[in-house]
Structure 1
Amino acid sequence: MRLAGPGVRSLRLWGVCAPAVVLVIVVALLVLGRTSHSSRNTAAGPPHTLVEVSPGRCGRGWDDPRPGVQVFDLRNTSDQAADVYLEDPGSRAVYGEAEGIGPGTTRALTVRLGKGAYALRCVPEDADAVMGPTVRVDRGVRGPAAVAVTVHDLIPPAIAYQKWVAGGLDETVRLTGALRAAVDRGDLAAARRAWLPAHLQYERLGAAYDAFGAADRRINGTDAGLPRGVHDPSFTGFHRVEYGLWHGEAARTLRAPAAGLVKAVTTLRDDWAQNRMDPAQLGLRAHEILENTVQFELTGRTDYGSGSSLATARANLDGTREVLTRLRPLLATRYAQLPGLEREMNGAQSLLDGFRHGGRWTRPAELSRADREKTDAVLGDLVERLASVATLCDPRRTS
């Protein structure tokens, strides 16, 4: 799994809309967020309400509640940046948020309001949160909402996931040791058979979003950006050994790369026991693993001769499922589409399993057009759904 850079979080609509709808709304919010508005109603779009954001006047200006889609122009009149959440003051479910509103600036937040109670909560950068006045809407259907997840909520699943990864690294050390032993005795046929189980075991651990830091580059990096490509001394790890095994290299030239792989995996295993995973990254990991899979494995960009890219995609699906298993207690009450997501995960598993024929996996380039389109569509839809998981599990300040 290749590393993916962190995304920027600014404006979000909370809830469980269909992925395509969520995507359209998010794009619209980002466009709106680049402009400032005065309080106004326009015939061309939803009504606008200018609302003050400050510790002393949080939510002031919203005195004409109405149902339907509308835009809050959030004006930060304080001297520090602030986040703003539109909440149900009773359940603390969040309908929308705008983050990092700078002093003296205005940001737009689009929401759909229906019958119920609402309040804006202002969270200054270096001060306690302030809840604005409660506003009631007497009719209409409310938009989607979810109770915010905190870092405290994420600590137990993060600890459980870290322990699972530790066990997986033990197994990776064992399997890479078997790979090295086959290379050392010159049995390259056995080494080719040993390479895939070792690599898939590592891939299941979900090394997305910088989970393993620089160690992942040494263990699972490609030749991208290296001056001499596959012949560069910095090309190491699983793919260096893969290239040699499937391009006719002699066993003696592969002994050092195989030994280096075992050393790198063993060091990661030993260091992992002393590390503490950032709980805030767990939701991101659920999304990034398969996003990287679509980018690298489905395109065949990481195939150095073994033809196992779809096997890797299947291992990445296992890794995603492990993350979701730890997050499930939090998602069960926040993500109404969780059953549908789990059904799609099962469908993707069956689809990928169908590309295995005995000990051989179909290469992406060998897929029929129909299979290619179906695979891209199924995994692409999963990536969109998992983006909602990442959003819901991104921790917020609640006080």
Structure 2
Amino acid sequence: MPETASGPPAARSRRRTALLAGGVLTAVAAVTAGVLAAAGSGGGRQQARTADGLRHTTVEVTSAHCGRGWTHPEPGRQVFELRNTSGAAAEVYLTDAKTGAVYGEVEGLAPGTERPIRVTLGKGAYAFKCLPDDADAVTGPTVQITGGNVRSGPAAVPVTQQQLIPPTLAYQKWIGARTVELANKTDVLRAAIDRGDLPAARAAWLPAHLVYERMGAAYGTFGDADSAINRTTAGLSGGVRDAGFTGFHRVEYGLWHGESAGSLRGPAGRLDQAVHALRDSWPDQRMDPADVGLRAHEILENTVQLELTGRTDYGSGTNLATARANLDGTRVLLGCLRPLLKTRDKDLSGLDSWMTRARRTLDGGEHDGHWTALDALPRAQREKIDADLGELVERLADVAALTDVRRTA
């Protein structure tokens, strides 16, 4: 994906903030030492190689002089120090002059500030695009690189909101079918508790919960329904005894901690009502197309943070099953996005391979329909699960970046 530099917190988009947390910021920080070493000799001129061994070029960011300063183009790995000498904050893209593909970008570049991007450029035509706040985009002069055998990249051809509508609608339709399935399975869970059959309720709990866990990319659209259906004790002063502790995990706690069927009828009934309300309201909901690529990354990011740490286990010991369901949900969303990714993600086959690897790794925790609890896993197996899912999360960050809706005008 293209190099991304973070702007001031108020100027960052939700997607890029998430990506910075995932590791892109490290690449930007690695450049900083070299930039600081060269800052004293700066000006608006081409700079020599610095402590990082890369060529540094100071580029001006203004509406009148977007990209001024890049006068001696060369191929290879290099750093552009983007200096905003205007009176307004701006986004800045380094683009392929022919295709519009973005090789590097800076968000929220405030007046009087400077920020680096690091890119690899080969033979081709390039141009900086400056997008000031509350003003039209300005494209700077085209710069030609004519020599060398360096391969440019990575880069992302921007997607439009319109292009994201078909995959979003396809995913919404899939979610609609899942809400029906969820209601049916939650009915089974509630019925078992109502008749006092706790073994049957424990058997029914996981199938119902996994349906919900496969729907992770839609949680933001669910609104308050998500808390009613799948809340944990996080932020609740009363913990598991707090009246705000509701949904699947409240029922899970009771089923695996010796509570009576009578005490669980209320929580199970409220869970069932919340699920039916979600099913009935879903046809009127609309997901934001700009969010779907980010969700593909967030689902498994949350899995690593919550499920693989055991923070969401309230007695059933089924975190690995939940992680597997999250993976299934991610695969569905990637399938909807595939038409856009095929022309943008050069490592899509590699992502597919890691999805398959993660599935096999998680499936190693299931035996004859029973899932091993995290604390019962051998250390080597748990480390492998953590490593494989962690690597997959890093690769999914590219999907979020490639499907980001960027300003073009």
Q: TM over 0.5: same fold?
A: yes
Specify the alignment match of 2:65 in structure 1: 57
1:177 paired with 2:184, answer: no
Which amino acid in 1 is paired with 2:16? R
* Corresponding residue to 1:74 among 59, 68, 82: 82
- Give the C-alpha shift of residue 11 in structure 1: 12
Deviations 1:307-356 (A, max 9, x none): 11111010000011011111111111111111111111112112222221
AA of the residue aligned to 2:304: V
Query: Could you tell me which amino acid in structure 2 is paired with residue 108 of structure 1?
Result: P
Q: Shift in Å at residue 29 of structure 1?
A: 5.3
| Counterpart residue type for residue 91 of structure 2 | D
Q: 1:388 aligns with which of 369, 373, 398?
A: 398
CA-to-aligned-CA distance 1:72-126 (integer Å, 9 cap, x gap): 2212233322111111111111111111112232222222222111111111222
Specify which of 11, 24, 27 is matched with residue 25 of structure 1.
27
- The one of 86, 89, 93 aligned to 1:85: 93
In the alignment, which of 142, 146, 162 is matched to residue 138 of structure 1? 146
Alignment of 1:1-399 (within 5 A): 7=14, 9=16, 24-28=26-30, 37=39, 38=42, 39=45, 40-45=47-52, 46-140=54-148, 141=150, 142-206=152-216, 210-399=220-409
Q: Distance in 1 between matches of 2:144 and 2:218?
A: 43
How many angstroms apart in 2 are the aligned matches of 1:31 and 1:150? 36
The alignment's C-alpha RMSD in Å is: 2.4
Provide the C-alpha distance between the structure 2 equivalents of 1:92 and 1:352, rounded to a whole number of angstroms: 40
Structure 1: 5+ residue stretches without partners: 1-5, 14-18
> Whose helix proportion is higher, 1 or 2?
2
Structure number with the bigger relative contact order (C-alpha 8 A, sep ≥ 6) is 1
SS at match of 2:16: coil
Contact kept, 8 Å, 2:217 with 2:292, in 1: the verdict is no
C-alpha spacing 1:354/1:82, structure 2 compared with 1 (3 Å): same
Contact conserved, 1:32 with 1:108, CA < 8 A, in 2?
A: no
Which secondary structure state, in structure 1, belongs to the residue aligned with residue 187 of structure 2?
Answer: helix
Q: What per-residue deviation string (whole Å, max 9, x for no partner) do you get for residues 145-185 of structure 1?
A: 22112222211111111111111111111111111111111
Cα separation, 2, equivalents of 1:11 and 1:316: 18
Secondary structure of 2:108's counterpart equals strand
The one-letter code sitting in structure 2 at the alignment partner of 1:348 is A
2:28/2:116 contact within 8 Å kept: no
Q: Distance in 2 between matches of 1:12 and 1:33?
A: 23
| Residue identity opposite 1:179 in structure 2 | L
| More divergent stretch after superposition (98-107 vs 303-312) | 98-107
In the alignment, the residues of structure 2 paired with residue 33 and residue 210 of structure 1 have an alpha-carbon distance, to the nearest angstrom, of 39
**1:227-261 Cα deviation digits (max 9, x unpaired):** 22111111110000011111111111000000100
Percent of aligned pairs sharing the same letter: 60
Tell me, what secondary structure is at the counterpart of 1:300?
Answer: coil
Question: How far apart in 2 are the matches of 1:23 and 1:219?
Answer: 35
Q: How far apart are the structure 2 equivalents of 1:12 and 1:298?
A: 20
Specify every segment of 5 or more residues in structure 2 that has no aligned partner in the other structure, as ranges.
1-12
Higher mean C-alpha deviation, range 142-151 or range 232-241:
142-151
| C-alpha distance 29-213 of structure 1, shift in aligned 2 (>3 A) | farther
Distance in 2, Cα, partners of 1:11 & 1:204? 21
Shift of 1:42: 4.0
Separation in structure 2 between the aligned mates of residue 251 and residue 84 of structure 1, nearest angstrom: 60
The answer to which of 311-320 and 138-147 deviates more is: 138-147
Shift of 1:7: 4.9
- Aligned to 1:146, the other structure's residue is in SS state coil
CA displacement at 1:69 relative to structure 2: 2.2
Equivalents in 1 of 2:29, 2:326: separation in Å? 28
